[in-house]
Structure 1
Amino acid sequence: MQRTSVLVIGGSLVGLSASLFLAWRGIDLVLVDKHHGSSAHPRAMGFTETTLEHFRAVGIADRIPAEPANARLRRAKVTSLCGEWIEETDWTPGKPTQRSAEVSPCTGAAIAQDKLEPILREAALELGADMRLGVEMVSFRQDESGVVARLRPRDGQPEYEIVADYMIAADGAGSATRATLGIACSGVGYLRTLRSVLFRCPAADAWLDQGIRQFAIEQPDFRAFLTTYGDGRWVLMFEDDRERSAQELEDAVTRALGRDLPFEIITTGRWEMAGRIADSYASGRVFLAGDAAHQLPPTRGGFGANTGIDDAWNLAWKLERVLTGTSSPALLATYDEERRPIGWLRHQQTFSRPDYASWTGDRFIPEPLFDNDAMEFGQLVRSSAVISATDELPAAASPVQWAGQPGTRAPHVAIQRRGQAMSTLDLFGRGYVLLTADPAWRSVADALPIELVMVGEDVTFPDAESFPKHFGVGPAGASLVRPDGIVAWRASDVADVAALPDAFARVACATRRDSAQGVGR
């Protein structure tokens, strides 16, 4: 019987990202996917700054074409692409569409899913991931010691079993893993089934010069949604589940374009519009990620795929620490604690926006909307792995408002390290990091498995006030940041130096061995 530390089920965006993040951390893993490659219909398009920050941390951001700085995803209501453009519409009414360039070292990426997946696959393979495409999981069982999965190669080879310490189920909205575990879902539920047609029309790209990428087609007897993958491919989405003949598809594309442009139909799609959040993201040694945990419709905020990639980033470092014995298994309980509320936040924000509010009817009560900076950079996570993320705090706010609040992503500040320009975010990713400008923290930090970064000595901030201002501490205070870049704890001044060991042991769910082994500087 074969063995691995982590078995990943599903080889799409989230499964590939989980494999990449785990392999980068040196964790042995096997990924299985019943498909042999990416879907002919690329589906997701557009990846956020946070997603690119994760890819930057593992060293592959330069492989992914970035959007221009200050780019924003714009939408217009039109009679057709080449016809009358009636008005531009906002994603979040009354809020700026673009996100602030000052809060991240990254821009988003306008790349189609079927072009991003090979990049992730190749990078994970380079780092030692074992990927088995054309292999499906038939069944699995688990006990206190691990997960046993029965796998079936789809080329007729014999079935076999593999034992894993943990399993990540990234097997989509219809997750068989979730069903086997008996985990139900809540949310607005099923809304309707829609159809789409993918076609190639490079000539239509000339209408993208104004920066608008999404078009709501409104004609007296024809309504549809048109958007581009930015590479000559376009997708037209219908508002019904009617199967159309080849001629009907061609006629619909022509009407949406509004001019007799040459095009080639590539394939069609059929997908379910729904809002479902799993009632638990974990059961025993099995964790749900991506659409298996939260099914959300396409949005201009990228709440589907990007949320799933963020799931994988949150889970990977926790699995590493538990598998290496530096944290107790209690750390893994924080995955559900932290990520399920984020899934719910994005569910509520999606269906509270005008794009989807009309579909939900009386089954959903809209909530106040957060702006784009808050949703992308300012979501709050609460769990036992964070100190002082209290219930009174909002679910999201801008990074400027948070100013290094525990439970939020550490602030991005442009700094210098050994004469090299970098972001504060580049300091994080591997282990716990303590940032401070006061040497009084040195002796305590050096006795713990924490990397101590001295402000003014190891790194230089733009000015003397920059570190306290952005991280919300006094000049002699300190900020403890987790391996995933989330602030775990902070102290306003040196009076709290003695509290650091207990704070670290608590947020890291540290084992006695890890608490006693310092890493120094």
Structure 2
Amino acid sequence: MTSPSSSPNPVLIVGGSLVGLSAALFLASRGVKTVLVEKHFGSSTHPRAVGFTELTMEHFRAIGIGERIPQIGSHSRPRRARVASLTGNWLEETAWTPGENESDISLSSPCKGVAIAQDLLEPILRSAAVERGVDLRQGVEMVSFSQTASGVTACVKDRVTGETTDITADYMIAADGADSPVRERLGIQRHGVGHLRTIRSVLFHCAEAKSYLDQGVVQFEIEQADFRAFLTNYPDGRWVLMFSDDSERSEEELCEAIRRALGRDMPIELITTGRWEMAGRIAERYSEGRVFLVGDAAHQLPPTRAGFGANTGIDDAYNLAWKLQMVLDGEAETGLLDSYSAERQPIGWLRHQQTFARPDYLTWAGGALAGEVLYGAEAMELGQRINSKAIIGGGDDLPPAARPDEWSGQPGTRVPHVWIDLNSKRISTIDLFTQRLTLVSANPYWLESARRVSLRLGVSIQLIRAGDLVFPAEKNFAATFDIASNGALLVRPDAIVAWRSSGGDTDCEEQLSEAIAQILQRQANHLGAATP
């Protein structure tokens, strides 16, 4: 058995952009002491990501910072059109999922998606991380690292003083980007369509162009006889124009290209330029020993309307944080950590396939994924199914994704969102399952059995009596989770259903003990607290 960690640095995070900061926040909110090193001194001057999905906002809501993130701009999925220019002929609007009329995704979540630029979101996350005790070290670069069976040691360098220091930790999270030195050092290979092209872009202000967003379209594919580009808007008033080539342009040439994309002369102010690689690469595994890959270090994907880049990485971190906490606290065996790669790598690969099967990128992948089953944004964001040893009874015959209203509490799926009343307070069912393992049942035998199992295994289990939850008449407890009134549901701290029983009032303790032991890689008959 493993014992609770006594290390002064349980987790070291390398990389302090969106995903690294999110990982630090998720861990700190669970009481895990974390050191984060980031070689840069602040956010990139190019804002990069802009759309953060309902699921991402659910994660931020769970740790109490959802209200800090301003709801800038439209909450709907970004709409895109092919146009000759912004002010010229608009040719057609293009769908993200061909043939699917996307429903209002907010009906399936307590949160709305947020349109905010990455360079405006990161300072909010930094501030929250420091408040929660994260040891944030900016301007500090990892030089090398090594790991043993008992921990990780990283050599880091202060980029101002040049001083090097060793940091030891139980575990390390690599959030160090698509070119991840950590991943390369581990020798983890990547697969996918690979390099597609190098993109250059220019960021600029143009207040006059804002009026052309009134129809709700915010992304524009510019198609002219001798000029093709991609124009999009940031809700704070900035615009970015992406070119279809890797040519260096003078300031005068940049201004001329912007005028062509806009379709007429408008007052503009250049801010900065960017250059980045469009590629599709997924790591063949997301962990090696005590080191875990998150974000672009694990999956490199181009920008999409479904936000498969930063949002996927934030979800990686949310999946990993509770598992690290339970292992570090001695409630779970280290085998639980194997489920991270088992659950997240297939999701990264599915998102790779979905990206390059859609019209946006199909031709860039040589049409190799034509005919792939396409899942809508709602299914991909809120209805993906996971499978690992930390899920019991998920069923390999189920699809990898489906709209949330097509799921009903199957193991491996996110808990269905329903607005309910608890102690005269209106909450989402999602809010019930964000802190620890939770057993919910209308059957007192299950609740009493869970109490005994919790004491015997030394595992904290939240117990919820279904009768205390007031569901709407058309969607009661049994219908929401597709279990009989005397059944039980066991939900993980990331709101993923881990196991359920359709009923019974005998052998409840044995069933539950075996289920929790499998999920946490424990011995069902072990007495007392777990000992990593």
Give yes or no for TM over 0.5. yes
Which residue does 2:419 correspond to in 1?
Answer: 414
2:492 corresponds to 1:487:
no
Letter aligned with residue 8 of structure 1: I
What is the CA–CA distance in structure 2 between the aligned matches of 1:283 and 1:181, rounded to whole Å? 7
What is the deviation of 1:390? 2.2
User: Which residue of the partner structure matches residue 25 of structure 2?
Assistant: 20
Please show how residues 81-480 of structure 1 align to structure 2 within 5 Å: 81-361=86-366, 363-364=368-369, 366-447=371-452, 448=454, 449-457=460-468, 459-463=469-473, 466-480=476-490
Distance 1:374 1:67, change over 3 A: farther
Deviates more, 1:437-446 or 1:296-305: 437-446
Checking the alignment, whether the CA contact within 8 Å between 1:70 and 1:99 is kept in structure 2 is no
| Further displaced range: 490-499 or 218-227 | 490-499
Change (3 A) 1:125 1:512: farther
Q: How far, CA to CA, are the matches of 2:121 and 2:501 in structure 1?
A: 40
Q: Which moved more, 1:225-234 or 1:448-457?
A: 448-457
How far apart are the structure 2 equivalents of 1:494 and 1:422?
A: 29
Are residues 465 and 105 of structure 1, via their aligned partners in 2, closer, same or farther at CA, if it must alter by over 3 Å? Answer: closer
Q: Which residue of 1 aligns with 2:46?
A: 41
Deviations 1:178-200 (A, max 9, x none): 00001110011111111111111
Distance 1:511 1:7 in 2: 29
Q: Offset of 1:363 from its aligned partner?
A: 5.0
Distance 1:65 1:288 in 2: 29
Structure 1 residue 70: Cα displacement: 6.6
C-alpha contact (below 8 Å) 2:75/2:113 kept by paired residues: no
Q: Deviations over 1:196-255 (max 9, x none)?
A: 111111221111111111001111111110001111100000111111111110000011
Work out the CA distance in 2 between the residues paired with 1:514 and 1:125.
Answer: 38
Q: 1:514 to 1:237 in 2, by over 3 A?
A: farther
Per-residue CA deviation, residues 253-304 of structure 1 (Å, 9 max, x unaligned), is 0111112111111111111111000011001100000000000000000000
Residue number among 471, 481, 497 corresponding to 2:508 in the alignment = 497
Contact 2:295 2:316 survives alignment (8 Å): yes
Amino acid of the residue matched to residue 314 of structure 1?
N
Q: How far apart, in 2, do the equivalents of 1:66 and 1:302 lie?
A: 17
- Counterpart CA distance in 1 for 2:75 and 2:171 is 40
Aligned alpha-carbon RMSD (Å): 1.8
Change (3 A) 1:460 1:314: same
The alpha-carbon distance between structure 1 residues 396 and 283, as it changes in their structure 2 partners (threshold 3 A), is: same
Per-residue CA deviation, residues 35-70 of structure 1 (Å, 9 max, x unaligned), is 000000010010000000000000000011236887
One-letter amino acid matched to 1:454: R
- For residues 255 and 399 of structure 1, the distance between their equivalents in structure 2, rounded to whole angstroms, comes to 42
In structure 1, what is the Cα distance between the partners aligned to 2:261 and 2:129?
A: 40
Letter in 1 for 2:513: P
Per-residue Cα deviation, 1:361-403 (whole angstroms, up to 9, x for no partner): 1554551101122111110100000001222211111122110
Stretches (4+) displaced over 4 A: 67-70, 362-366, 511-518
Q: 1:52 to 1:288 in 2, by over 3 A?
A: same
| 1:72 CA drift (Å) | 2.8
Closer, same or farther: CA 69–137 of 1 in aligned 2, 3 Å: closer
- For the Cα contact (< 8 Å) 1:72–1:98, is it kept in 2? no
Give the letter for the 2:145 counterpart.
F
Shifted more, 291-300 versus 466-475: the winner is 466-475
Q: How many residues align?
A: 516
Residues in 2 aligned to 1:333 and 1:253: alpha-carbon distance in whole angstroms: 49
Residue 457 of structure 2 is matched in structure 1 by none
Report the more deviating stretch, 75-84 or 282-291.
Answer: 75-84
Alpha-carbon distance, 1:450 to partner: 1.4
Change (3 A) 1:106 1:269: same
Paired residues of 2:513 and 2:524 also in contact (CA < 8 A): no
Answer yes or no: is the 8 Å Cα contact 1:44–1:305 preserved in 2. yes
TM-score, normalising length: structure 1: 0.96
Letter in 2 for 1:287: F
Task: Tell me if the contact between 2:77 and 2:305 (Cα under 8 Å) persists in the aligned partners.
Answer: no
Distance 1:267 1:514, change over 3 A: farther
Identity %: 58
Q: Which runs of 5+ in 1 are unaligned?
A: none
Aligned 8 A contact 2:419 2:471 in 1: yes
Unaligned runs of 5+ in 2: 1-6, 455-459
Quick check: 1:23–1:127 contact (8 Å CA) kept in 2?
A: yes
Please report how far the alpha carbon of residue 108 of structure 1 lies from its aligned counterpart in structure 2 after TM superposition. 0.1
Tell me, in whole angstroms, the C-alpha distance in 2 between the residues paired with 1:227 and 1:376: 22
Supply the distance in 2 between the matched residues of 1:415 and 1:85 (Cα, whole angstroms). 44
Partner AA of 1:4 in structure 2: N
The amino acid of 2:86's aligned partner reads: L
| DSSP-derived class of the 2:196 partner | strand
User: How does the TM-score come out when normalised to structure 2?
Assistant: 0.94
Shift of 1:71: 2.1
